[in-house]
Structure 1
Amino acid sequence: MTTYPLPAADLKGEGMTSQRARDRLAATLKDGGIRDLRVIEVIRNLPRHHFIDQALHSRAYENDALPIGHGQTISQPWVVARMTEALLEFGVPQKVLEIGTGSGYQAAVLAALVPQVFTVERIEALLRQARRRFRQLGLANLRSRYDDGKLGWPDEAPFDAIILTAAGDTIPTRILDQLSPTGVLVAPVGSPSRQTLIRMRGDGKGDFIQEELGAVSFVPLLGGIG
């Protein structure tokens, strides 16, 4: 498949943000059961320290979620990898919608693997930071929008794949309606104390095949803008 390079030599890092640290993270992902080598390679090469505050750079390539402000987090790399490979397992989607841009890290991983990524964020300050990172990385195949994520991006629907990076009790109907009849959706679902990562695949006839992919922990899916 085609991959989309990240032309950011000035973001290679050193010491705890060096390529050696990224290689260790890639090995951790493999040991943790991530099988898609395309996903591992993108995470190996993507400068995760670019998506967090400088005070946390020494922890950028640990397999942990980290705070990014406004009550939000950058997801654990293993979770990013698992969600991404679940989205790609049945073929490379041409057009992907992400609900919850956050730091921009998940969107950047996707942009290195699929032709078009659309990402929606409800917190304006986070989106401004993410957009600056996207520009610095030269991610020309990624579009972002400041809006209520629960509304999706109807003007660009349908999408071949949708990914949610926050958990609700259910998948909002307005988002499901924007998935193509044979599309794939990956999202955490459940209460703050008990969440499950699910994958839904359209059967082309209006129904969905749903699978549980394991326990996860995400910030809540909220409506409105802030």
Structure 2
Amino acid sequence: MTPTTTTTTISVDGRSLSASAVPDLQGAIDALLARFADIRGQWSDGLFVWSTWSPIVMTEQTDGFVLETPDYAGDAFNDRTTDLSLALQASDGVVRVLNAANRMPQDVRFNQTVEAVKGWEQHDRLIMTRSPGRDDRDSGWFIDLLGVERSEPWTLDDVVVVPLWQVAMARPAAARVLALPLGIKAAITGDAVEMLVDEQTQAVLAERPL
């Protein structure tokens, strides 16, 4: 069953703005509405801010503005939804991981891509590493299968290119590390980020479920 969302509406200078999410995210909704209130002079249809890797977009309707995100449960490239829950939950997890690693975020966007070894969605233990992307669409992230012994490296036929937002839908824990900068290795087990390691020094930056 899909959780029921609640809608919060504010009025600023005679104009209304509404945002919806599951009740547990009320604090995040309040903070988001306050963020938009601070830029009230820019309000217009299509105005957006970034919430880590997801845009939050203003849409003008006959009775005021509403906030939307790409529809990550459907077609994020072409559709939007007023349910902000996934984007706000993902942002909370991203911030938690960045704080644990004591690192500043590196730019990442929902419509970028991730390379992953086939079967990554079902494999319980994953290793994620980031290198410079080949172009603006490439996030630089690579998802490998932990605990699979091989005598040879993976070939191109073993690897798939996945939109970043689909990673968030299939493995929420993997989405939490996506704003980490280059040089950080992340170990994922199930729906938990188990360890963050500095690849250069091999120092463990965090070792607990995140």
User: What TM-score bracket applies, with the shorter chain setting the length?
Assistant: 0.3 to 0.5
- Greater per-residue strand proportion: 2
TM-score, scaled relative to structure 1: 0.34
- Greater per-residue helix proportion: 1
Structure with max Cα Rg:
2
TM-score, scaled relative to structure 2: 0.36
